[in-house]
Amino acid sequence: MKRELIEPFFAILRAANPEPVTELEFTSVFELLAAVLLSAQATDVGVNKATRRLYPVANSPQAILDLGVEGLESYIRTIGLYRMKAKHLLQTCRILVEQHGGQVPRTREALEALPGVGRKTANVVLNVAFGEETMAVDTHIFRVSNRTGLAPGKTPYEVEMGLLRRVPKEYLAHAHHWLILHGRYVCVARTPRCWECAVFRYCDYQPKTPPPGARVRPGASA
């Protein structure tokens, strides 16, 4: 994707959804952290179903610790890899209580030091909870960035760095939400829904037959 096409690409996504939000349900920074930790290799829908049962009972680090491993597992067993996630969440809660006064830290280094919290999870918390201009590259963002030519890369980190370089600053705060939602509902993995894509004309990817009513970008192959 040529650099001059990036601004209108995001302008259209913003016009369609001016204030995008994560589809994970939470009411506090800790609830967000726990939900993102639980969401690895799971859907937001599945995580929300579990946390709707868990959070009314335990929605703080100490309350989660008080449940114990069996108690926590009973609430999240519908989520994939629930045993490992329960272990990591309990370890994280203990660190939060013992080292951070029960609060979620605001630095990348401290977040990534928590069990089960990698760069993507840290980026989500930093962006959604603390308003930092980070880019949490999940499978949807990785696919959209490569398919559209927005920020091609062989690894999530390469894509993240490319997006931070190429996305105009005015769009950085919400860019990862727009890209996730676009990848989840339009630019899907197997057969992208180009016929209903609002940014089709700016995309490097062109199906063999343009979708009905789409304008193929000048110079692009069809």
Q: Kindly list the catalytic residues.
A: 120, 138
Cβ(164)–Cβ(179) below 8 Å = no
Which SS3 state, helix, strand or coil, does residue 175 take?
A: helix
C-alpha torsion 206→210→211→213, nearest 10: 120
Which alpha helices (DSSP H) does 21-138 contain, by range?
Answer: 29-38, 44-54, 61-76, 82-99, 108-112, 119-124
State the Cα–Cα distance between residues 174 and 124, nearest whole angstrom.
11
Q: What is d(CA 108, CA 151) in angstroms, rounded to the nearest whole number?
A: 23
For tokens 């926590």, the residue is: 72
CB 83 within 8 Å of CB 55? no
